[in-house]
Chain A
Amino acid sequence: MRHSYFDYNATAPVAPEVLRTLAESLGEVYGNASSIHYFGQKARQRVEAARRSVAEMLGCDLREIVFTSGGTESDNLALFGTARLRPGCGIVTSAIEHPAVLSACARLEREGHPVTYVAPDSNGVVSPDSVAAAIVAMGATGIVSIMHANNETGVVQPIEAIAAVCRQSDVVFHVDGVQAAGKLDFPAGCDLYSISGHKFGAPKGVGAIYVRKGIALDPILYGGRHERERRAGTENVPGIIALGCAAGLSYDVAGIAALRDRLESGVLSRVPVCCVNGAGAPRLPNTTNVRFDGIEGEAMTIALDLRGYAVSSGSACSSGAVEPSHVLLAMGLTPEDARSSVRFSLGPGNTVDEVDGLIEAVVECAAHLRRISATFRPEEVGAHA
């Protein structure tokens, strides 16, 4: 059976160019970038070339890039690294953030930082006004952390407007850019910006954080004086080289958006009673999150996988079982509606044929699932058809 991948927001395959560079660097660039000899210098040159490439992707100064192990570390470094320099300060974030931000905030709450979780509107957009209101209500707000684009719905947040709010209030503004980096332009006005290599063609285990010049950050790992004393630990040289290579790749926004739109309109026109979560907001070009009334998204995901199509529903808990998405719940969906939603996320590897095959499989699975569903009564629905 042919297997097609429609889960690029979970992770993306390593791009072919990156794979070649990675293989070469794993074999040859084995020096420690901190060593003074020939081998160390070779590694250092490649690390700094990668830094220039990542800085170029974001449009920032290369000294503003700190390499990390990935999105989770970047988010933790941003939040803990800032909070520790502002004891007891308040934190404003949103209810739709990735667990890397939400769990870090929950920990900081236990360490004495009050946290406000701003709710998004029904399209999944966090409004600058609600962030401003939360900053005022909290009093001594020191940090705002809002994601650039949501991993589950693809909804893009008004980062530049939120940045303007933050500037007026003297707070550090962190943006989790893990899903957006490589797909959207770097937003003006943020102080910290997390990226993760495996979402755009680099391997897992490498990422970076943009730290705007003048923003103080306490390290969360202690050791050597790597990365201008902001991130200790021998540089992951092959990973960083691969990250730099992936940062230089072009992303075919129009082509991927066309495939996504083909999938979306194909599914919406052929499956009765379904709708797109976050349809009223600007979204990433590659993501569509579809709610199929009366269908368990988990069952749809398994059924599609058994037909060779990899999609996702909700986020996996520690056992691998699926829990209803906190993002969709925060947007006001009922737990039933959240459970009946499926995320399709596309990438450079997808083709028109694959998309058409996926549409057929979704149509068949949806019909089958509704035949056996105890909850789906077509005559009772249709309000949003």
Chain B
Amino acid sequence: MPELIAVAMSGGVDSSVVAALLKKQGLNIAGLTMQLWNQRRLPELQTEETTGRCCSLDDVYDARRVAEHIGVPYYVVNLEHQFEESVVEPFVSEYLAGRTPIPCTLCNTFIKFDQFLTLADSVGAGAIATGHYARVSFNDDTGRWEMRTALDFSKDQTYFLWGLTQAQLARTMFPLGGMNKIEVRALAEEFDLPVAKKAESYEICFVPNGDYAAFIDAYLKQKGVAAEAVAGAIVHEDGREMGRHAGAHHFTVGQRKGLGIANPEPLYVIATDPKSQTVTVGSGDALLRSTLTARDLNWVSWPGLSAPARVNVRIRNRHLPAAATIYPLPDGSVEARFDEPQRAITPGQGAVFYAGDLVVGGGWIE
């Protein structure tokens, strides 16, 4: 029998198409769904919409139905404990420390391409396949696995995948990296998948309605952590106090809406200081910066950085990569100097470096 491949099935269209596609190619596959977070855990966040969310029973039901439809073994595996430890807790503490973390990168690095890969290995699967939009190939000349942006750039997910190591890439398949959404939907129809018409989800899976602050409040409350002395002042960059707030973690650098302040000019959050619980606001110009420092780097397609190099740097998922020169720093971190100043470079987010469509590497913005 050919080597077993474990397909990470979320119950969504993309991973369902991956499973059907590989099965049709005659590969020996098993479907696995990761149970990462119990949506009933924080009841005060329950809404009608939470029933259709990631890790909800509906999604597990859908994944199970797809596996049955294409005729492959299917299992749900419990990684809730690891997810909380590696993703949710860092997410909350980073937020409280005034940074804006991206849990999806943590999840990819520490759960999907680590714990899940180990689990796949455990059950006898040498490789895994997921529905991510990215391309991976081996470069015989450099001896490295390389990652490229998805052909359909609007679907590209490399911003969340820069943390993958060579060992992880060697055992990972992204069958959708060369397709666009229309083709994937067409395949779902062609395979007559029960989820062919299912809507997409863009939110962070464990945060209902994208309300991070409400999630953090509820999570801390359940953990028995007093919501600390979180209230503080909203201060203009010129020193004027503009108002009060109920916790700096309710604010993100670059945020304009929901400040609760009337001002003739549009105001943006330009900094949050969790120590003094001060939220500083100012005009959009104050958000423009020309440099950033990235730490805890992972080099993907390049082996490392020994001399300054010209790349494009992406600082948010929907950010168009901007031209910059990256300089290696003595402590192993990297400084990026942009050709044009960039808006809202946010500590805690990832900075991902690209050479054309090649994902060079990335790090966390300091």
Contact = CB atoms under 8 A, between A and B. Distances in A.
Interface stretch (B69-77, B141-149, B158-166, B182-190): B69-77
B73 to A, nearest CB: 6
B86 to A, nearest CB: 14
A305 B78 contact: no
A322 B78 contact: yes
A253 interface: no
A383 interface: no
Contacts of A374: 118
Given A319-B35, A320-B60, A369 B122 contact: yes
A302 B116 CA distance: 13
Contacts of B75: 302, 305, 320
Nearest to B35: A321
A115 B118 CA distance: 42
A374 B64 CA distance: 30
A168 interface: no
B119 interface: yes
Interface in A332-385: 368-369, 372, 374
Interface string B51-73: 00001010010001000000001
A319 B73 contact: no
Contact of B73 (A296, A298, A305, A369): A305
Given A319-B76, A323-B78, A303 B57 contact: no
Contacts of A307: 124
B255 to A, nearest CB: 35
B118 A306 contact: no
Nearest to B118: A372
Interface in B115-155: 118-119, 121-124
A374 B114 CA distance: 11
Contact of A372 (B64, B73, B76, B121): B121
Most chain A C-beta atoms within 10 Å of own C-beta, residue among B4, B30, B75: B75
B241 to A, nearest CB: 49
Contacts of B78: 298, 317, 321-323
A241 B160 CA distance: 59
Nearest to B75: A302
Contacts of A300: 122
Interface string B337-350: 00000000000000
Interface in A276-320: 296, 298-300, 302-303, 305-307, 317-320
A291 B77 CA distance: 19
A306 B123 contact: yes
Nearest to B78: A321
A300 B123 CA distance: 7
Interface in B1-53: 4, 30, 32-33, 35
Contact of B4 (A306, A317, A368): A306
Contact of B55 (A298, A305, A319, A323): A319
Contacts of B64: 320
B109 to A, nearest CB: 16
B122 A319 contact: no
Contact of A306 (B35, B73, B121): B73
Contacts of B4: 306
A45 B124 CA distance: 54
A303 B60 contact: no
B122 A303 contact: yes
A104 B30 CA distance: 37
A369 B122 CA distance: 5
A310 B273 CA distance: 55
B30 A306 contact: yes
A303 B78 CA distance: 15
Nearest to A374: B118
Contacts of A317: 35, 78
B31 to A, nearest CB: 11
Contacts of B124: 303, 306-307, 368
A276 B143 CA distance: 48
A360 to B, nearest CB: 14
Contacts of A368: 122, 124
Most chain A C-beta atoms within 10 Å of own C-beta, residue among B30, B32, B35: B35
A367 to B, nearest CB: 12
B74 to A, nearest CB: 9
Interface string A319-333: 111110000000000
A298 B77 contact: yes
A372 B119 CA distance: 9
A302 B77 contact: yes
Nearest to B64: A320
Contacts of A372: 118, 121-122
A315 to B, nearest CB: 11
Contact of B76 (A303, A305, A320): A320
A369 B35 CA distance: 21
A24 B14 CA distance: 48
Contacts of B55: 319
Contact of A299 (B76, B80, B119): B119
B27 to A, nearest CB: 14
A321 B118 contact: no
Contacts of B77: 298, 302, 321-322
Contact of B123 (A303, A319, A320, A321): A303
Contact of B60 (A298, A319, A322, A369): A319
Nearest to A1: B1
Contact of A319 (B30, B57, B118, B119): B57
Interface of A: 296, 298-300, 302-303, 305-307, 317-323, 368-369, 372, 374
11 contacts: A296-B119, A302-B32, A302-B122, A303-B123, A306-B4, A319-B76, A320-B60, A321-B35, A322-B78, A368-B124, A369-B122
Closest 7 CB pairs of A and B: A299-B122, A321-B78, A321-B35, A320-B76, A321-B76, A302-B123, A303-B123
Interface of B: 4, 30, 32-33, 35, 55, 57, 60, 64, 73, 75-78, 80, 118-119, 121-124
Given A303-B122, A321-B35, 8 more contacts: A302-B77, A305-B73, A306-B123, A319-B33, A319-B57, A320-B64, A323-B78, A372-B122
